[in-house]
């Protein structure tokens, strides 16, 4: 008999109702708050979260310890339930799901963890097979799926090893294979590379980027490593004290952070000392100081020299870096302009798609 689910708008079968009304949105938070009841007091973890995660994007969540990142992630697979507000996927209010329908939603959301959470008494093969067995997949379906995943993630030679016999990177590959076993639409990553060395982190990130591209998988990723965000995410939200304080494309957020919490995280990661910057500014008092941001090809154009020659301005360089965001080069330079025709120089920078921010 079909289970009835309160709060649903129509009588379509569950699988049809899960087809997103707006296919571009994988999951939506509408004014979601979450507090935990402990013996002495309520702990408020999230306040009034409004967020649409788009289908197929890699969405990053950053914020200091205790900001509410893991709680936000655990709401998506309903390991935690909102205290108020709505969580939606298509026409469904996910918070109304129960029983078989709740289990079905959870199968659509895979999860990987910092400490891998593999079952130590089971082999790699058995760990990957576990979610399929729990979902009631017949044996004839389990073997080909596990074999496919072992091959896809280069785990064939390790199939009969136990977790204790694997490196961190190998364990996380098993974690990813297991999370993808039931063909989820969303993959949640809670600090999934934080226990790995930098080289292994890169290989796991490449793997995540490739499954995102190959399967159109939506990925929601929490990390305290800004480099992880820069390499793989499309958009990012900054959480501070349970609220989203800034949200935007990774390039906008890293190159032009607005909120103090975002500035702290980005500057910490880039080892930019705001006090030192202030001191540098005072050394060039009286001269206009600009932060120039070059994106893409403009990063490598020999613009500074030609603009200096044409306009007669000279530069003192106060700070600078060249790096990449999701594979696209960018450069950021803080300069004091000395002498020459400053407004002509500003016009030439803007005409060459260089973002100009006046600092003084």
Ligand X SMILES: Nc1ncnc2c1ncn2[C@@H]1O[C@H](COP(=O)(O)OP(=O)(O)OP(=O)(O)O)[C@@H](O)[C@H]1O
Which residues lie across from 87 on neighbouring strands? 29
Cα separations in angstroms, 24 against 57, 89, 92, 97, 213: 10, 11, 15, 22, 15
> Is residue 170 within 8 Å of 155, Cβ to Cβ?
yes
Coil, strand or helix at 329: strand
Quick one: tokens of 155?
């785990």
User: SS in 3 state form for 77-95?
Assistant: CCCCCCCEEEEEECCEEHH
9 DSSP 8-state letter:
S
Alpha helix segments (H runs only) across the chain: 14-17, 69-76, 99-107, 124-134, 139-152, 168-180, 198-215, 226-232, 250-255, 260-269, 274-283, 303-311, 342-351
Q: Which does 307 bind (CB under 5 to 8 A by kind): ligand X, Mg ion, none?
A: none
| Contact window for Mg ion (CB under 5 A) among 43-51, 62-70, 203-211, 330-338 | 62-70
Q: Is there binding between residue 114 and Mg ion (CB under 5 A)? A: no
- Cβ of residue 269: shortest distance to Mg ion, in angstroms? 18
Closest CA to 26 of 187, 166, 154: 187
Q: Is there binding between residue 42 and ligand X (CB under 6 A)? A: no
Q: Is there binding between residue 70 and Mg ion (CB under 5 A)? A: yes
- CA atoms of 324 and 338, how far apart (whole Å): 29
94 DSSP 8-state letter:
G
| Contact window for ligand X (CB under 6 A) among 5-13, 64-72, 138-146, 269-277 | 64-72
Total residues contacting ligand X (rule CB under 6 A)? Answer: 12
Q: Is there binding between residue 71 and ligand X (CB under 6 A)? A: yes
- Cβ of residue 73: shortest distance to ligand X, in angstroms? 8
Coil, strand or helix at 113: strand
Alpha-carbon 18 to chain mean position: 24
Q: Is there binding between residue 45 and ligand X (CB under 6 A)? A: yes
- Cβ of residue 150: shortest distance to ligand X, in angstroms? 31
- The nearer residue to ligand X, 71 or 293, going by C-beta atoms, is 71
Q: Which residues contact 296 (CB under 8 A, 6 or more apart)?
A: 328, 329, 330
68 DSSP 8-state letter:
S
Interface with ligand X in residues 9-38 (CB under 6 A): 36, 38
Interface with ligand X in residues 243-302 (CB under 6 A): none
Q: Is there binding between residue 70 and ligand X (CB under 6 A)? A: yes
Q: Which of 20, 68, 110, 331 binds ligand X (CB under 6 A)?
A: 68
- The nearer residue to Mg ion, 59 or 330, going by C-beta atoms, is 59
| Contact window for ligand X (CB under 6 A) among 24-32, 63-71, 266-274, 313-321 | 63-71
> Is residue 117 within 8 Å of 167, Cβ to Cβ?
no
- Cβ of residue 69: shortest distance to Mg ion, in angstroms? 5
Q: Is there binding between residue 82 and ligand X (CB under 6 A)? A: no
- Cβ of residue 73: shortest distance to Mg ion, in angstroms? 8
Which residues lie across from 93 on neighbouring strands? 88
> Is residue 292 within 8 Å of 335, Cβ to Cβ?
yes
Neighbours of 197 (CB within 10 A): 11
> Is residue 187 within 8 Å of 219, Cβ to Cβ?
yes
- Cβ of residue 220: shortest distance to ligand X, in angstroms? 13
Q: Is there binding between residue 63 and ligand X (CB under 6 A)? A: yes
Q: Which does 186 bind (CB under 5 to 8 A by kind): ligand X, Mg ion, none?
A: none
Q: Is there binding between residue 43 and ligand X (CB under 6 A)? A: yes
- The nearer residue to Mg ion, 46 or 129, going by C-beta atoms, is 46
- Cβ of residue 239: shortest distance to Mg ion, in angstroms? 10
- Cβ of residue 9: shortest distance to ligand X, in angstroms? 31
Q: Enumerate binding residues for ligand X (CB under 6 A).
A: 36, 38, 43, 45, 63, 65-71
């Amino acid at each position: 008999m079909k289970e009835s689910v309160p709060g649903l708008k129509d009588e379509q079968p569950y699988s049809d109702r899960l087809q997103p009304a707006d296919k571009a949105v994988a999951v939506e938070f509408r004014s979601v708050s979450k507090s935990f009841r402990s013996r002495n007091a309520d702990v408020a973890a999230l306040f009034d979260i409004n967020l649409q995660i788009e289908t197929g994007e890699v969405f990053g969540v950053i914020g200091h310890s205790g900001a509410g990142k893991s709680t936000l992630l655990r709401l998506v697979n309903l390991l935690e339930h909102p205290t108020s507000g709505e969580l939606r996927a298509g026409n469904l209010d996910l918070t109304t799901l129960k029983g078989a329908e709740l289990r079905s939603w959870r199968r659509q959301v895979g999860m990987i963890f910092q400490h891998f959470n593999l079952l130590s008494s089971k082999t790699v093969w058995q760990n990957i097979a576990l979610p399929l067995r729990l979902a009631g997949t017949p044996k004839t379906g389990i073997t080909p799926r596990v074999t496919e995943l072992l091959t896809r993630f280069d785990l064939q030679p390790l199939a009969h090893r136990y977790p204790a016999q694997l490196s961190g990177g190998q364990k996380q590959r098993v974690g990813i294979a297991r999370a993808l076993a039931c063909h989820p639409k969303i993959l949640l990553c809670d600090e999934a590379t934080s226990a790995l060395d930098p080289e292994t982190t890169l290989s796991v990130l490449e793997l995540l980027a490739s499954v995102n591209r190959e399967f159109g998988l939506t990925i929601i990723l929490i990390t305290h490593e800004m480099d992880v965000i820069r390499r793989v995410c499309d958009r990012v939200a900054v959480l501070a004290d349970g609220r989203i304080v800034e949200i935007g494309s990774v390039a906008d957020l890293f190159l032009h952070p607005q909120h103090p919490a975002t500035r702290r995280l980005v500057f910490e990661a880039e080892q930019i000392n705001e006090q030192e910057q202030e001191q540098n500014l005072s050394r060039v008092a009286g001269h206009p100081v600009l932060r120039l941001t070059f994106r893409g090809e403009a990063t490598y154009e020999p613009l500074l020299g030609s603009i200096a020659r044409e306009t007669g301005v000279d530069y003192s360089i106060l700070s600078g870096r060249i790096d990449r965001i999701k594979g696209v080069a960018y450069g950021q330079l803080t300069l004091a302009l000395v002498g020459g025709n400053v407004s002509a120089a500003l016009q030439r920078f803007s005409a060459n798609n260089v973002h100009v921010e006046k600092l003084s």
